[in-house]
Chain A
Amino acid sequence: MTSVSIQNLDLNFGSVNVLKQLNLSIEEGEFLVLLGASGCGKSTLLNCIAGLLDVSDGQIFINGKNVTWAEPSDRGIGMVFQSYALYPQMTVKGNLSFGLKNARLPKPEIEERVARAAEILQIEPLLDRKPGALSGGQRQRVAIGRALVRDVDVFLFDEPLSNLDAKLRAELRVEIKRLHQKLGNTMIYVTHDQVEAMTLADRIAIMRDGLVQQLAGPDEIYNRPANKYVADFIGSPAMNFFEGQAKKDGTINIGNLDVDLKGYEFADGPVNGPVWFGYRPEHVVLGEAARQLPLCVEAVADIVEPMGSDTLIWTKIEGVDFRIRTDGQAKVAAGDPLLVGMDPRYASIFDQQTEERV
Chain B
Amino acid sequence: MAGAKKPVRILRNLNAKVAALPMITTALVIFVGCTIWTIVHSFTNSRLLPKLEFVGFDQYERLWSTRRWLVSIENLAYFGIGSLVFSLVIGFLLAALLDQKIRFENTVRTIILYPFALSFIVTGLVWQWILNPEFGIQHIVRGFGFENFVFDPLYNPDIVIFGVLIAGLWQGTGFIMVIMLSGLRGIDGEIWKASRIDGIPKWKTYLFVVIPMMRPTFVTALVLISAGIIKVYDLVVAQTNGGPGIASEVPAKYVYDSMFRSQNLGQGFAASTMMLLSVLVVLIPWAYLEFGGRKDGK
**Which residue numbers of A lie inside 8 Å of B, CB to CB?**
47, 50-52, 71-74, 77-79, 81-90, 98-99, 102-103, 146, 150
Contact = CB atoms under 8 A, between A and B. Distances in A.
Given A82-B190, A89-B213, A73 B204 contact: no
A140 to B, nearest CB: 13
Contacts of A82: 190
Contacts of A72: 193, 196-197, 199
Given A83-B188, A99-B199, A89 B194 contact: no
Given A83-B188, A85-B188, A98 B208 contact: yes
A102 B193 contact: no
A81 B190 CA distance: 7
B21 interface: no
Interface in B191-243: 191, 193-201, 204, 208-209, 212-213
Given A85-B188, A98-B208, A78 B213 contact: no
A73 B196 contact: yes
A74 B188 CA distance: 23
B194 A102 contact: no
A99 B196 contact: no
Contact of A88 (B190, B195, B213): B213
Nearest to B213: A88
A102 B212 CA distance: 18
Given A47-B193, A89-B213, 20 more contacts: A51-B196, A71-B199, A72-B199, A73-B196, A79-B194, A81-B193, A81-B194, A82-B190, A85-B191, A87-B194, A88-B213, A89-B208, A89-B209, A89-B212, A90-B208, A90-B209, A98-B198, A98-B208, A102-B198, A146-B198
A50 B190 contact: no
Contact of A102 (B188, B191, B199, B213): B199
Contact of A73 (B188, B198, B208): B198
A349 to B, nearest CB: 43
Nearest to B201: A102
Given A87-B209, A89-B209, A89-B213, A99 B200 contact: yes
A82 B191 CA distance: 11
B35 to A, nearest CB: 38
B21 to A, nearest CB: 43
Contacts of B190: 81-85
B184 to A, nearest CB: 15
18 contacts: A47-B193, A71-B196, A79-B193, A79-B197, A81-B193, A83-B190, A85-B188, A87-B191, A87-B194, A87-B209, A89-B213, A90-B208, A98-B198, A98-B208, A99-B198, A99-B199, A102-B200, A146-B194
A264 B199 CA distance: 53
Which residue among B191, B193, B195, B212 has the maximum number of chain A CB atoms within 10 Å of its CB? Answer: B193
A131 to B, nearest CB: 11
B198 to A, nearest CB: 3
A77 B196 CA distance: 11
Contacts of B212: 88-89
Contacts of A79: 193-194, 197
Given A89-B212, A102-B204, A78 B197 contact: yes
A52 B213 CA distance: 22
A88 B211 CA distance: 11
Contacts of A77: 197
Contacts of A99: 197-200
Contact of B197 (A73, A84, A88): A73
Contacts of B200: 98-99, 102
Given A85-B188, A89-B209, A89-B213, A73 B199 contact: yes
Contacts of B198: 73, 98-99, 102, 146, 150
A329 to B, nearest CB: 46
Contacts of B201: 102
Contacts of B195: 87
A73 B201 CA distance: 10
Nearest to B198: A99
